[in-house]
């Protein structure tokens, strides 16, 4: 009865979202670009203290994450707002969905620093081949150009050794890009954190995997993880590669997006008191709607922590949403899931990502129908 009464009280709020969503989306006044000061202010004002996760998570481990992109593009129009978690897989979703602005909210400050590293490298690279040269600290192989495919790019770098001199030169340059070029106030701890992340790419190159630096994390947790090269050559179920390094056009779109300071990395717990709600308030102030929320499998961990999942969905309820707002999640690590309509079919060696309507899930949450991660997966397709 209590759940029913709560649902009834919140129904006008949900109806308002549905009725006003399209109009608010059309009136969005998100800036065409953010100044360096505005970007850093958003990061500083929205972020929570650094939190804990059991791995460094420098790289995605979801080879099936592209499977949902075609359906997302049918549902979501360009020009909305993207929210995500984690490292580079967000770039591929962002390029595919072409939002007006993106917020990456992750509990680890290290993830924010990794995105700053990426920002500096992407901005200062003329093309994909130069970006990979800087990312892996390897001299650029001859013969690569704007028409090179992702397999050709990674095959070329496979045969080039990393260069410690290039690593130190590039590290100094990317730090200058962030501090002198953008004026970001990085302290010694942040500077060292960027160096740690960058060293992983120097040391492992195209073979960097999620389980860096401890091999098979957690007594076998990391076995079978895809490496960087594999993830950038993954495809959707029809064989199309949407990765941000798949084509020169994809990379250039992302470079323009980063150069306009439209990717905002934020340190925050999904179930925390500040970050998600602060993003929501900024978007309301600018009459913008959230189009996509990529959660990876963070919800699974929230259900393992007392009440964190409930706080998270209450946070999401403060976001400006419309009928097209969509959750994107990975169910690869979840045992005992229930997933109708074939979403549980294996793809690319690991389970494909799935989606669900944000509005529908929040409606179920308010009605008391969401009590476990299995309930969340049951609403996913």
C-beta contacts of 175-180 below 8 A and 24+ residues apart: 175/120, 177/120, 177/123, 177/124, 178/116, 178/119, 178/120
pLDDT (0 to 100) of residue 26: 55
Mean pLDDT of the chain: 88
Half-sphere exposure (Cβ direction) of 330: Cα atoms closer than 13 Å: 22
The structural domains of the chain, with segments of one domain joined by +, span 2-378
**Average pLDDT value for residue range 322-328:** 98
User: pTM of the predicted model, to two decimals?
Assistant: 0.89
**Average pLDDT value for residue range 306-335:** 91
Q: Are strands 350-351 and 346-347 parallel, antiparallel or unpaired?
A: antiparallel
Instruction: Tell me the DSSP string of 166-182.
Output: HHHHHHHHHHHIIIIIT
pLDDT (0 to 100) of residue 352: 72
Whether the Cβ atoms of residue 206 and residue 161 lie closer than 8 Å to each other: no
**Average pLDDT value for residue range 310-318:** 98
Query: pLDDT (tens digit, 9 = 90+) per residue, 170-227?
Result: 999 999 999 999 999 999 999 999 999 999 999 999 999 998 987 544 333 445 789 9
Tokens 């050709």 -> residue: 152
Tokens 């670009």 -> residue: 33
pLDDT (0 to 100) of residue 215: 53
Residue 337's pLDDT band (cuts 50, 70, 90):
very low
**What are the φ/ψ torsions at residue 45 (nearest 5 degrees)?**
-75, -30
Whether the Cβ atoms of residue 354 and residue 329 lie closer than 8 Å to each other: yes
Nearest CA among 93, 81, 96, 98 for reference residue 28: 81
pLDDT (0 to 100) of residue 333: 53
């Amino acid at each position: 009865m209590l759940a029913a009464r709560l649902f009834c009280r919140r129904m006008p709020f949900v109806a308002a979202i549905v009725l006003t969503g399209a109009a608010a989306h059309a009136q969005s006044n998100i800036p065409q670009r953010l100044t360096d000061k505005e970007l850093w202010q958003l990061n500083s004002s929205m972020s929570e203290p650094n939190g804990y996760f059991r791995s460094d998570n420098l790289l995605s481990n979801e080879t099936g994450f592209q499977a949902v992109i075609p359906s997302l593009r049918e549902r979501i129009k360009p020009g909305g707002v993207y929210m995500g978690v984690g490292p580079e897989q967000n770039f591929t979703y962002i390029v595919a969905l072409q939002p007006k602005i993106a917020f990456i909210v992750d509990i680890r400050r290290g993830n924010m620093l990794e995105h700053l590293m990426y920002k500096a490298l992407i901005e200062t690279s003329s093309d994909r081949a130069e970006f990979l040269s800087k990312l892996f600290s390897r001299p650029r192989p001859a013969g690569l150009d704007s028409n090179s495919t992702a397999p050709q790019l990674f095959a070329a770098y496979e045969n080039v050794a990393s260069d410690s001199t290039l690593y130190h030169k590039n590290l100094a340059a990317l730090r200058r890009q962030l501090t002198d070029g953008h004026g970001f106030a990085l302290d010694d701890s942040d500077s060292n954190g960027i160096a740690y992340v960058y060293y992983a790419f120097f040391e492992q190159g195209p073979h960097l995997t999620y389980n860096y630096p401890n091999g098979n994390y957690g007594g076998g947790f990391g076995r079978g993880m895809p490496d960087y090269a594999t993830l950038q050559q993954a495809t959707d179920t029809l064989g199309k590669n949407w990765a941000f390094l798949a084509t020169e056009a994809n990379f250039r779109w992302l470079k323009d997006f980063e150069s306009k300071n439209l990717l905002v990395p934020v340190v925050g717990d999904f179930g925390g008191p500040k970050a998600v709600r602060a993003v929501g308030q900024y978007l309301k102030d600018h009459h913008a709607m959230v189009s996509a929320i990529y959660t990876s499998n963070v919800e699974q961990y929230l259900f393992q922590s007392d009440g964190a999942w409930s706080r998270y969905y209450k946070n999401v309820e403060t976001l400006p949403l419309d009928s097209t707002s969509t959750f994107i999640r990975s169910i690869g690590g979840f045992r005992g899931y229930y997933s109708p309509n074939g979403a549980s079919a294996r793809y690319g060696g690991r389970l494909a990502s799935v989606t669900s309507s944000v509005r529908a899930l929040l409606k179920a949450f308010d009605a008391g129908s969401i009590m476990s991660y299995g309930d969340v997966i049951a609403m996913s397709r």
